[in-house]
Amino acid sequence: MGTVFYSLPHPVRRRIVRIATPTYTLGSVVLVMDADRTRLLMLKQPPGKRWSLPAGLLNRREQPIEGARRELCEETGIEADFDELVPATPNAVVHTNGRWVDNVFRLVRDPETTEVIVDGHEVWDAGWHPAHDLPEMTRATAKLLSHYGLGPLAEGDPADEPPASA
């Protein structure tokens, strides 16, 4: 079977691979926190009532750090230089069920001096929240934040433990 595949013209082989293999959507997320990492900037976006993070899908041929910078500015009005956006650890979070990959960056800002501007259409509200007491958030946001020890699904959080049997 392999010889037949490799005897096909390259454009045909590429098309077969793209059809037959799983694809992932790529996005960028920015964790905007104060220097002490005690407060996190979160957004409330349509259509839900739960909070999320500054994030969005990458444009074709856009680098993850460029997408992070663009989305941050579009959603919050915060401008960041490329050297201020530091790759988080882990830098990429793979969501296998939804088949997307988030490239995650950290940005340090002072909540007292940072002006956050929301347009009311793409973002309804923005707020700085204590890292130890985050508001109700989307499931995807909770899963992402758990990789950084934050939110209700973070390891060791009592809300993530199974109920005690009677």
Report yes or no: 30 and 45 within 8 Å, Cβ to Cβ.
no
Per-residue pLDDT tens digits for 69-107: 999 999 999 999 999 999 999 999 988 777 889 999 999
Domain residue spans of the chain: 23-155
Cα–Cα distance, 102 to 30 (Å, whole number): 10
Per-residue pLDDT tens digits for 17-76: 777 776 788 999 999 999 999 999 999 998 878 999 999 999 999 999 999 999 999 999
DSSP H helices in 106-150: 139-146
pLDDT of 156: 54
Q: Which class in CATH covers the domain with range 23-155?
A: alpha beta
Cα–Cα distance, 144 to 127 (Å, whole number): 18
